[in-house]
Amino acid sequence: MLTSKNNAAFMRTAVLTHVAQSYIEHDFENINDIPNILVSDQDHPKRGSVETDRLVVKAQCMSALGFTPCEQNLADSLAQKAKEALDRTQPLKATVSVIKEACNACLKMRYTVTDMCRTCFARPCEVNCPKKAITVTNKAYIDQDLCIKCGICYNNCPYQAINKAPLPCEDACPVGALSKDEQGREYVDNDKCISCGKCLLSCPFGAIVHNSQIIDVLKALKNKNKKTVAMLAPAVIGQFGNDLGKVISAFKKLGFDEVVEVAQGADVTTKNEAAEFIERMEQGAPFMTTSCCPAWVKATEVHIPEIKPFVSHTGSPMYYIAEIVKKQYPDCISVFIGPCLAKRLEAERNPNVDCVLVFEEAAALLAAAQIKVAEMEADKFAVEASAQGRRYPISGGVAGAVAHMVGDKAQYKPEAINGLNPEAVKKLKKYATTPPTEYNMIEVMCCEGGCIAGPGTTCMAKKATVMVENYVKTSEDQK
């Protein structure tokens, strides 16, 4: 996947910020101007023409307004779509989609021979190819009609002269939810998609989008007849600066009446999951998997149904904190703010969660409202979570928290699936039919590194990991 420092990510943030700012400052009166503001007449065209670049920005604005661009008529004005966004009473169904005008119709993944080929005597590429797809003359040549993309030639070449040219979005998808249409452009099958966001982060053309809920949240913040409550996921550490107290104040200045710590819900998850694990082991179950990651849960429902009996029934931290919030403020608008696009799928099944923002969107809202986190006076959570709950967003954090609660009540042998990919999916399918004997608790995180590497994050994962670990050290153990 691409790092967060790239032009596609910068433009995505710019679109979110400008759309939010248009609502906050102008009630959308200037929203039609955004494509011209972000793509000026003097800009060098990135997609053949300035007009096409502006059309793509317009589609991205529609996504920021909460719509699925591929289902919209791009001839419609942004002002018209903004009015529709203001008129709706709840967020639209969460989808991942491709902006056709932005998709480059990349070639399928293939191996090709570069000029580094020395036509060596050993020729391990030719000798080891299972389909005899390689011939050597003045250099090696791969017959793409015969090649099965096994990579044996790539792995055997002593000169590294064979290049693997991936199709970034399809290569990143762990469940094969993307395919090409008749024009060679990508299409997302949302029945297969688990909303992990890996394709969105991998596309170098900014063609893949996930419809936002920033307008739904801004409308809620503007409505003074209802309380709005921000639920900050544990991965928030480091996303908006080094001082979490200032982040809490910033969200209150944005308009949230209350800001609560989702790690408080993680503590409930830990207790319930530990109790469930002990009960399952007493009943003779070979193993149990975690259920916190909504992309993993969707994967079990659609792609690995055979493993469903082994998945924990315990709710996620978002589930429990939303339950707590709604009991305390029954008529409030609850907004989960975290790193994960798939939380929108989970929220659609949970009446206690009204909206979901990823950190990138929340940062855009703060920027649009001209709120500088570093200049805020520090606040604090009314209820503090435990060290174990606050470590949830790091790979191994959930399994470690459950181990802390299980103690010596049951034999505990954890494994962490650190990132879902096709190989991990195959491994988990095998576990469903041939349970592992060396593990009985399997933590599954869709994002490599944990939630701190989610598609909606603003901080590099390694840096975020260090900051979370330091924050955990300041917290007390769960009792």
**Concatenated DSSP letters of 59-70:** HHHHHHTT--GG
Give the mean model confidence (pLDDT) for residues 297-306. 97
- What is the rounded average pLDDT of the residues 198-216? 97
Average pLDDT in the 354-377 region? Answer: 97
If you average pLDDT over every residue of the chain, what do you get? 96
Coil, strand or helix at 180: strand
Q: Which residue carries 């009609």 as its tokens?
A: 145
- For the four alpha carbons of 230, 236, 237 and 241, in that order, the dihedral sign comes to negative
Neighbours of 216 (CB within 10 A): 23
Please give the domain boundaries of the chain with CATH numbers for all domains. Answer: 7-105+170-212 (3.30.70.20), 110-165 (3.30.70.20), 217-473 (3.40.950.10)
Q: What is 439-456 written as a DSSP string? A: -SEEEEESSTTSGGG-TT
Q: Are 224 and 257 in contact (CB under 8 A)?
A: no
Residue listed under structure tokens 């060396």: 438
pLDDT at site 171: 93
Average confidence (pLDDT) over 331-359: 97
Q: What pLDDT does residue 467 have?
A: 95
- Kindly state the tokens that stand for 126: 């030719």
SS3 474: coil
Residue-wise pLDDT tens digits, 254-263: 999 999 999 9
Question: What are the backbone dihedrals phi and psi of residue 156, each rounded to the nearest 5 degrees, phi first?
Answer: -100, -15
Strand partners, 418: 445
pLDDT for 3 beyond 80: no
Question: Which residues neighbour 274 within 8 Å (Cβ) at sequence distance 6 or greater?
Answer: 402, 405, 406
**Confidence check: pLDDT of 242 > 90:** no
Q: What is the pLDDT of residues 69-87, one digit of tens each?
A: 999 999 999 999 999 999 9
User: Is the alpha carbon torsion for 437, 438, 440, 444 positive or negative?
Assistant: negative
Compute the average pLDDT of residues 151-160: 96
Confidence check: pLDDT of 436 > 80 = yes
Question: pLDDT, tens digit, for every residue of 45-68?
Answer: 989 899 999 999 999 999 999 999
Mean pLDDT value across residues 461-477: 95
**Chain length of the chain:** 479
The upper half-sphere exposure of residue 191, i.e. CA atoms within 13 Å in the direction of its Cβ, equals: 1
What does the pLDDT look like over 168-181, one tens digit per residue? 999 999 999 999 99
Residue 307's pLDDT is: 97
Reading the block at residue 330, the tokens are: 């029954």
Q: Given this model, what pLDDT does residue 108 score?
A: 87
Compute the C-alpha angle 296/301/302, nearest 5°: 100
Proportion of the chain above pLDDT 90, given as a percent: 95
Residue 90 burial (CB count, 10 A): 10
Average pLDDT of the segment spanning 441-451: 97
Residue 107: band (very low, low, confident or very high) from pLDDT cuts 50, 70, 90: confident
- Mean pLDDT, rounded, for 140-154: 96
- Tokens 């949230």 belong to 256
Q: What is the rounded distance in angstroms from the CA atom of residue 164 to the CA atom of residue 32?
A: 42
pLDDT for the residue numbered 5 = 84
Closest C-alpha to 446, from 227, 243, 317, 298: 298
Distance CA 240, CA 235 (A): 11
Distance CA 329, CA 315 (A): 20
